[in-house]
Amino acid sequence: MTRAFSFVVAGVVTLISIIVHRVSVLLFAPGSTLYGIASSATHFNAGSKAWLWFQIIAIWAPLLAIGGIWLWVLVREFRRQVTTATARAGRRP
């Protein structure tokens, strides 16, 4: 697996995370129809639960996915460079 593969995977996951963020902001934002339905329930403190799920789906899930995939790319690149440097150092007389 090459460096290009890592960046393509990271780019695709980043793009999907941005799409998930935009769609969830449109669907679950305060003031939208789904948010109104969820927050109008009379049990389980529905307003705060609706706000919590909006934050999880619209903000934290995409943010953690983007951060995680770029961390994966950095770790793979670091390991690739360490392996290359170690292999080159072993060839010297």
pLDDT (0 to 100) of residue 90 = 65
37 is a domain residue:
yes
5 is a domain residue:
no
Question: Where does 1-93 show beta strands of DSSP type E?
Answer: none
55 is a domain residue:
yes
pLDDT over 80 at 29, yes or no: yes
Average predicted confidence (pLDDT) for the chain: 85
8 is a domain residue:
no
**Structural domain tally of the chain?**
1
pLDDT (0 to 100) of residue 91 = 65
10 is a domain residue:
no
Helix segments in 1-60, DSSP class H: 3-28, 33-39, 46-55
The residue type of 81 is Q
Domain that holds residue 49: 15-86
